[in-house]
Amino acid sequence: MLAKLIITLGALLYGLGVPLLEINQTHVFNPQWEAHARLHEVWQLATNSSLAILSLWLAWGRNNIKLPSILAMLVTGGFLFAYLVRDGYGGSMVLSDGSEKPIFGLNLGAFAFGIVFLISVATLLSATAKAAPHAERP
C-alpha cells in the first residue's frame, strides 16, 4: 500500500502539480517564449500527465509497482538532468518576472523532483526484492 501511495504522490506532482504551475503567463501563455517553445511545453505537460494517468492505472488497477516507479524515475530524472546541464544550453529556473521558487535553499522543482526520484528508486528496489524468488534453505 505504501508503494502505491508513493506512486500516487509522484504522479500527482508531475501529472497535475506541474501543469497547474505552468499553464499560465509564466510558461504556456508567456508572450516572450517562442511559439515553438510553447508547443514543446504543452507537449511535455500532456505527455507527463498521460504517463501519470498510466502509472496510477498500473499501480491501482493492475497492482504493478515496478513500471510506474520506472516512469516516475524517467519523468523526474529527465527534469533533474535538464536542471543539471542548464548552463550548457542556456536554461534557467528563473521565471520571466525574475523570481525563483526556493525551498530549503534549493530550487523547488529540483527539490521536489529529487525527492520523488529517490523514493521511486527505493520503491522500485523494494518491489524488485519482493518479487525475487527466495533461495531454498538447506
Q: H-type helices in 13-134, by residue range? A: 18-22, 35-56, 62, 66-84, 86-89, 108-131
- Is 96 a residue whose pLDDT tops 90? no
pLDDT classification of 37: cutoffs 50, 70, 90? very high
Q: What is the pTM of this model?
A: 0.91
Average pLDDT of the chain, as a whole number: 94
Task: Give the three-state DSSP class for 110.
Answer: helix
CA distances from 105 to 56, 84, 88, 110 (A): 31, 16, 22, 11
The predicted pLDDT at position 137 comes to 53
| Residue listed under C-alpha cell 498510466 | 54
Residue pLDDT, tens place only, 39-89 = 999 999 999 999 999 999 999 999 999 999 999 999 999 999 999 999 999
